[in-house]
Each structure stands twice: as structure tokens, then as C-alpha cells.
Amino acid sequence: MIDLHTHSLLSDGALLPSELARRAEEKGYHVIAITDHVDFSNVERVIPSVIKSAEHINRSMKIRAIAGCEITHISPLEIPVIVQLCRKLGAQIIVMHGETPVEPVAKGTNRKAIESGIDILAHPGLLSEDEASLAVENNVYVEITTRKGHCLGNGRVVQLWYRYGFRLILNTDTHQPDDLIDDEFAKKISLGAGVNPSEVNTILQNSHTLANSILNM
């Protein structure tokens, strides 16, 4: 299992980064990205802490950790600024908290995030056709998720994936220990979202491709 969207207690997760990684390792994970929530109030504190944690994990465990962040509830006008700041601070992967149907995310977040050079658009809700096309043009991965509530948009995302062919990825958005999954559960979520059985492994392989591109930089 490769999971590129998780949270530790550096934001609103339940676990220290090291325990998150250890529990994931025991679950069979090969790579985990720690992508704690950031906005302008905490980005300069959280990203260096995540980087330090990932470095320690990579020295002491078999699992590989990627240091990232999830930009959350930022005004669309400010997204390009904070994306550049996250890169400057050393984030290896940038996730954007998309327009999930279960939170009041500002309209226009999906589009502006895709335009601003993020890596993964998380739980984008009712993704539009224009946004799907733009994700292809900008090589942005679009997420289906195992997380309760956020997963309500999975079917729409898969539908547009078949139409436009953007890079589809599955993540857990883990906050609690029980949120961690294995490959078999990931396959069930993919099938439930409408992915053809013959193409489930394609989605899991997309996680490998993105993770390897970051770890081999």
C-alpha cells in the first residue's frame, strides 16, 4: 500500500508522525506521505516539522516517508501564493483540500489549485468537466478517498476519469489509526466507486509512479 494523504498530530491527526509511520508499516505500507493541514497561520511551523519527522522515519524504519502538506480552506485568490511558499519551505508533495460535499470549501478552490501547480487534488466533490480537463493539462493527480463523507464524490471523479483520462489516485486521508487500510480494501473502494475490475491496479500503480518520482528526485 502507498498512501499519499495522511495526517499526524502536527495538525488534526491522532498520532505522532513516527507512530503513524510505524502503524502503517505494520499494516503493510511501503510509502506514506505525511500531509498535515496548513494555511498561512501554521505553514512555516508545520512543514519543517514534517520534514524533520520524515527524515527520522527514513533513517529508522523500512517504510519510506514523504514530507508534504494539505493546503486547507484557503481563499482561491491566495492559493498560488501558499503553493509557492510550501515549495520554498521544502514540501515534497502538495495536496489541496478540494471542494468536498461535506465541508464549506470556497467555490473555485478546485480550479485555482489545479492551475497553481499542486500535486494532488483531494476529495474534489462534484468535479466539473472543465476541472477534469485542466487536471490533464497540468498533470495533477485527482483523488478518490476512503474517508467517510469525502468519499461521496468518488463516483463523479471516476466517471470523469473515464471521460478525460487524468491521473487518478486513491488515498485514505488518515486521521485515526483505524483509517489505515491494505491493498485489498483499496481495491474494494475503487470497485465501489465504479472502476472496472481490470483497471483497479492502474490506480494503485499511479500511487507508485508519483511516490517513486518524488523519492528518486
| Mean pLDDT, range 35-46, rounded to an integer | 98
What is the assigned CATH class of domain 2-215?
A: alpha beta
Q: How far apart are CA 133 and CA 129, in angstroms?
A: 6
| Mean pLDDT, range 160-181, rounded to an integer | 98
Work out the end-to-end distance of the chain between its first and last CA atoms, rounded to an integer number of angstroms. Answer: 21
% pLDDT > 70, the chain: 100
Confidence label for 1 from pLDDT (cuts 50, 70 and 90):
very high
Q: Is 196 exposed, middle or buried (0-12, 13-18, 19+ CB in 10 A)?
A: exposed
For the chain, what is the mean pLDDT?
97
Please check whether residue 76 is in contact with residue 108, taking contact to mean a CB–CB distance below 8 angstroms. yes
Q: How many CA atoms does the CB half-sphere of 194 hold within 13 Å?
A: 15
pTM of full prediction above 0.75: yes
Model confidence over 94-142: pLDDT tens digits? 999 999 999 999 999 999 999 999 999 999 999 999 999 999 999 999 9
| Mean pLDDT, range 153-178, rounded to an integer | 98
CA 98 to chain centre: 10
Model confidence over 60-96: pLDDT tens digits? 999 999 999 999 999 999 999 999 999 999 999 999 9
pLDDT for residue 88: 98
pLDDT for residue 217: 67
